[in-house]
Each structure stands twice: as C-alpha cells, then as structure tokens.
Chains A and B, each alone.
Chain A
Amino acid sequence: MGRRYSADPKQVRIYHEAGGRPHDRRERDRPTVTGMTEPDGWSDAALAGALFAIDPAGLGGVSLRGGAGPVRDRWLALLRGALTAEAPWRRVPHNIGDDGLLGGLDLPATLRAGRPIAQRGVLTAADGGVVLLAMAERVSAMTVARLAASLDEGVVALERDGLALRLPARFGVVALDEGLAEDERPPAALLDRLAFHVDLGLVDPRMGDTLSVDGAAIAAARARLAAIRVEPEIVDAVCATAMALGIASLRAPILALRAATAIAALDGRPAVTAADAATAARLVLAPRATRLPEAAQPEQTDPEPAEPDAGPENEQQDDQQPNLDQPLADIVLEAARAALPPDVLARLLSTGAPQRVRSTGKAGAVQRSLRRGRPIGVAQGELRMGARLHLVETLKAAAPWQKLRHIERAGASQPPETPRVETRRVEVRRGDFRIQRFRHRSQTLTIFVVDASGSSALNRLAEAKGAVELLLADCYVRRDKVALVAFRGKGADLLLPPTNALARAKRCLAGLPGGGGTPIAAGLDAAALLADAARRAGMTPIVTLLTDGRANVAADGSFDRARAEADAIAAARRIRAAGHAALLIDTAPRPDERTSRLGAELGARYLKLPRADAAGLAAMIQETARASAPASSPRAAA
C-alpha cells in the first residue's frame, strides 16, 4: 500500500466486520499476479464503490470485472450498504428488450382503465439509484446505446406505443463483466461512461473479513458534494495526465475530476487536493491507459518553473494557457502510472501498441434478441403457430370499433340470460389481430484465415491480401460481418474479432507482416472457435482460408512437416464435422493436390488464386453462404 489513499481512516470508516459465512466455492481460477497478493486490489475496489455511492449518476458507474463469487457479492453488498436504503437497485438482464428497458404501454392496466396507461421501464424505475447490468460483456450495442443516452441526458425519452414521455432517469450503472478472454469486455461506448473499471481478479478471494462502508459517512459526503471546489490547476493536471496516458476520450478526465470531488467530499475537505486528484487518477485514469506516459510527454519536461499556486480568482475564461510543467501534473501522473494494471504494462512494454477495446459487445445480444428477424412492421393476420401477436397494434385496430361493438352486443343480447357486458371491457375480434412480421436473414460472418507464413509471403501474400479486399468489398454490400485470423510462425492470431467495420479489417490486413512457418492447424483451430461462437450467436459463419497449403508447423508449435500436415487435416475435418461452410483459396503459384486435398477435408469450395477475380470470388462466397445456411430460411409470419 505504498501510494495509499490519504484519507483519514476515521472519516472514511471502511472498517472490518466479523466475516460472514465462509464460502466453500472452488478457488477461482484467476490469473495469479506473480504469486503475490494484492492488498490494494480490494481497498481500491472498495473505495471505488464508496465514491460511486456518493454520486452514482455523476460518476456513471463501475465496470466490475470478475465472475460471480464471494468477492463480487461482497463488493455489491458494500455498495448496497453505502447507498441510501430507498435508492432503487435494479437488475437488467443483458438481453432485455425495449419494453423492459424503456417502458411502454401497460396493456392490462390500459384495458382495465380504458385509457392508455404507461408502464415504466427499468431505467426510469432506477432513477436515483443503480442499474445492475448482468453479463455486461455480452450486452448488445442497442442496449448500450439506450443506456448511454439516459446516462448522458438523465432522462428516458419514451416514444413508444402511442406514448410520448420524458421521464427522469438519473442512475449509475454497475456493469457485471464476466468476460474471461482479453477481448471479452463490455462495449467501449459503455466503458467510456463509467468512471471506475474495477478488476476483481486482482483481489485475493481468500480475504478473511467482510469490509463495509458507513452509510452515514457516505450520506454526509453526498450532501457536501456540490460545495466542493476544484481549482483550475487540478483540472489541468488531470487533463494532462489523461493525455499522457493516451486516453482519447474527454469523458475520462471529466469523470476523474468528479471522482476527485467525491474523495474530497468523503474526507470533508472544502476543495480537491493534489492527493485527491492523484487517487482519482489512479482509480479512473490508470485502467484506461493505452500507452506509457514517458513516451507521451517529452515536450512536457520543460524545466521552466511555473507559478505553483495561482488562486482561483485570477483564473479567467480567457486564460487558457495551462501550466503544463507544474509539479502537480507529475504527482497525478505518477499516481496513475504506478497503478497501471500489470497486464497493461506488460502489453505496452512488449508491443508498444495497445489492443483497442472492441466497440460493440460480444456478438450475442443483438443477434440473439433480434434473431427472430428484423421487424418489418405489423400486418393483419391469423394467430397461427409461431406468429407473434402485436398487442398494442391489435388493441389499436380494435379501439375504433368498441362503441359500435358494445351497441351491437347489447342489441344481440336481448335475451336476459346473457350477462351484461361491462362497457369498459375492450372487445377484440379476430379481424383485429395484428401480427408482428419479421424478415429473417441470418447474418453471415466471413472468417478470413490468412496464411502469412514465409512461403506464402514469398509466393503471394500481397495478392492474397488483394483477394481478401475484393471479398471485403462484397461483404460490405451485403453488410456481413468479418473476422480476421492470421497464422504464421508458431501460431495463429485473431487480428480482428467479428466486426462490421470493414475499413478496420482492411487496415489490419494491410499491416499484416509475413514470415515464419506455416501452422495451418493453428489457424483452422482459431477459425473453428470463432465459427462455433458465431453460430451460437445465430450467425452463419463461413471460413475462408487463404493458403498455399504447405503446412510445416504442427498444432503444438513444433517444426515437423509430416505432423503439421496431419494436424492441418485433422483441424479441417473438425470444421467440416461442425458443419461450417468453408472456402479455400489456393495462393500457391503452382497449386498441387496437397492443397486441394486439404480443401476436400475441409468440405470447402476450392479456388485457385489466379482465377480469383472479383466476380468469381464474390459468386463463390455467395454460393457457399447460400449452400450452408440451415437456419436462414425466410420466416415471415402472417
């Protein structure tokens, strides 16, 4: 706990309680942090929770990475205790629909009352409290966009089912990120808006006691929050730190300043101090770092001494020249740098280029919740098997006739044995049924598996890249998703997870170096994993392998031509057995039967590169897609 949070422990009152029931869960198989325990992990996590509880809507939220387990439960209990008892606490499943999230027409109530009654969605119900987003790593871009709109505006703009409302929705989000792989993270659009990115994997799960936070202290801090001053130098220092760490979004320094304000409020200080800013930088900025600070600020090492403490009064709007080199910025930056997560550090040191966070959620929810097709409107129809009744539209169809039908019914029921129909009851007849129509087109994911080995590079890596570009253009027309796997040397890399952003695919490809062995088996295995995931998400994957077929690195990475070829064939058979469609583009200058044999084992359509002109390739891949789309039969109910 070297650079510790400087708060007076009496005031913060994070204290130890007698431990709860010991959890007899199995040890979490988290990556060990070089054997040492991380006491800072939990105290920072707890501090983030306490600060979040002070200002949930202002700080946006917490991304809580780590599977379900005692540590997460403890953290959530801590947060619950820190919030006021009446603060809403709403769980949102990752595949929630618009009705549930935003609200809509409350049909039972509407029918009872005979006038439209609105039903609140989770976001409005959570006003003043916290939204718990389950499985945030799988949440769809759609859901995130709706959450983001409410986080930004503090309201839910509801324009649904004949309702037009703006309802207050000031809430904070706890994104429960259960992702395991590096790229399995909540969408960037969400992370950008959440102040704290807490990794519970850094917390020792065998902690003896439960930590708790004093709700009264939090409440007092909340009351003080608005009065806390932030000097302009603090703003400058936080901005400089964010920039030095390579954080592009301007939301990050804004959130860090709010966190610093909450820290000062918690400690009962009237203004944010340098130490508060440093702590905030550690909590908010460090997890967002994309580069090491040294490389970023050679121009800031001007030794020109700056006025250390300019009063707040002489800080004018026009006075835009911040003191870049004042020591304050260094203090804040140092705190952030010291807290860079170890993996970030390693990654930055080894490659210098950070891996960008995926911008949309792991393929899942969009496809899954809309998997039944793209809604293309509503039509009159029969309630046959599988058809989905659109209740609101049905009600609307029935509504104009109610008066008439009641009169009609009253006239027809002359015999007194028929019970009187309540006039308020809405009479729906068969002709009123409105059916939601969908157009179902299973989205295609084209997985390019590109051979970037030395032999391929010699042969025609450039031409293979050209061929992929042709295919990409075709994908663009059909708005397919693409993914890019490259294999060379000892293994395969997922260069681009499934995405719509084809320009990124092209950039990835352009920067792809060639050289090394030919581990076809590794490439195919990586593609098979992706294809399986895509199919689970309801997409139709097509594996497109570009290689010259001279496998010489076995699945285990050893250099053995015979085993390499056997492994490649085994991998190909697995893909074929899984039923994934495949296409093999032979890039060899003199194609031989080894490659065509691999193609046969893969169950792939086989194409030699010399023939692979734009039209031929496009036709081929389309044919492959059509032939292999078992789940994509058009389904239009009604």
Chain B
Amino acid sequence: MSDPLPLQIVCEMAKSLPAAPWLLPKLQIALKNPDTTAEETEALIKKDAGLSSAILRTANSAFFGDSKCDKLHDALLRLGNREIFKVASLTIAGRWLSNSVTGGYGWEPGDLCKHSLCVAIAAEILAKESGQVLPDVAYLAGLLHDVGKLALAYSCADGFEEVRLYQKEHQCSWREAEKHIFGYDHTDVGGILLESWSYPINLIQTALYYPRPSLAAHEYLPLIAHVHAAKHLSLQLGVGVGEEGFTTELDESVFEIVGLTPEMMELAMPKILIAAEKILSAISAGPGQGVKFEG
C-alpha cells in the first residue's frame, strides 16, 4: 500500500459519493421549529425528488388511509412531522449508505444499508423499552453510526489487506487495526463527515464513540450505550454484517449504567427481527447471492 491518504482527503472524497445526506439535519431543524410553516417544509422536501416521492408513497400506503393523496402538501399534512422525519431519515441516509462500495469490509451490495437499518430499529426498540433516550433520536443515531465505514472503504480500499493481516496477527478490534494502518479509523471519519454536514453533536458523538461508549461525553452516554447495544444485537442477527463485524469492541459494563438489562435485550431480539424483516423484505438482494456449489 502507498502512504495512507490524509484524513481530510478521505472525508472530501466521501462527499463526492452520490446522494450525500446533507438535507437531513436541515430538515430536522425545520421540523423541530414550531414556527416553520408547512410551505417551508414542503419547499425543503421538494429539493429532493426521491424524498418527495417516498413521502407520497408512504402517505398513500394502507397504513395511513384509504383516500388517494396526490399532492405533496396533502401528504405532509397526513403524515405529520414525526413520520415525515422518519421517512426522510430512511430515504436520505439509506440512499447514501446504499452506495455500491463492495471492497474493503467484504460487503455484498446493500449490506451497510441493511445493517445500519437493523441497528436503527434495534436502538429505537431499546429506547422505547428503557425510557432513557428518545426513540426517534436513537433510530437516527443507529442509522448513521457507521457512515465513516463507507467513506473509508471508498477511498482506502487498497489498504484493507494490511488492516486484515494486522487484525488477525494482533487479535485486536478491526477499528484498532484501521487506526494502526491508516493513522485514523472509521469513527474519526464518521465524526468529521457528520460535523461537515452540520449534524447535531449527539449524532457526531455517536459516530465517534459507538464502539467505546465510556469515552463519550457523559451527557451522551445513554444514547451511545443504546446504539452500542443495538449494534451488538444487530451483529447477532448477521444481516449485512461485513468481515469486521464480530471484531467490533464490546463493553457490556455500560448497559447496566443506562438501564439495559440482559433480559431486556433478549426480549428485544424477536421484536427487532420482526420489525427489521418488514423493512428489509423490500430489499430483494440478500447477502451471499453469489454462493454456488463448486464442482
């Protein structure tokens, strides 16, 4: 491998990937502000044709009513701010996370998006159970926790063989191996990316510290511990997990601090699976589609 790219270059290269999620924090601010008018929300959403279409599709789903809704304005009124933001999170972040970067972590196409969705759903379910964190915030933090991995796989793919060898030799976490080989790791990249897109500090802290929640600022520990637990529950399911997944750092001591008991996590697993299946069933290509018998 040639000399590692500077961290700033890795982040700049990632911004050139299609469908960067820059609109999401702007939308979050607008939807939280009671002075934002419906017209202003509509104008913001119209900047993204894919999102407008997803909002209309959701408003016309059986869950939201029988009558046809063919105007964006009406769809927004029907859904309400909470649901609008949920659709926007999934559409905008999911699209970026679906960029086809298959080298590096051993992902099949779509794997990062599927895994991130599982973590988002798991974090939301745990937050509802514990009552310690807002479920919507936990969902978004889970969805975005691994954004740095996409950037690293995109710009530093030729260094991953060294990461792989270093991790195997030293039996360390994959993140530590990245740090040793590149001088930075995917959490550094994720933190800078979210900051550059003006995401709030709690989400930046999550991207930076989700593998090591005890290092985060104290006020963000509950959120990050929920994402940490959600990450590991999702790893157990295996969906979209790359080569590095099971070498993610685990700190089981933080769960008790934020009220997440083993019983709560075990009971959450079937709920996570059922909720994730509903969303993932729309994504047809499963991992390992290319598995064939030899000979």
Asked whether A and B interact, the reply is no
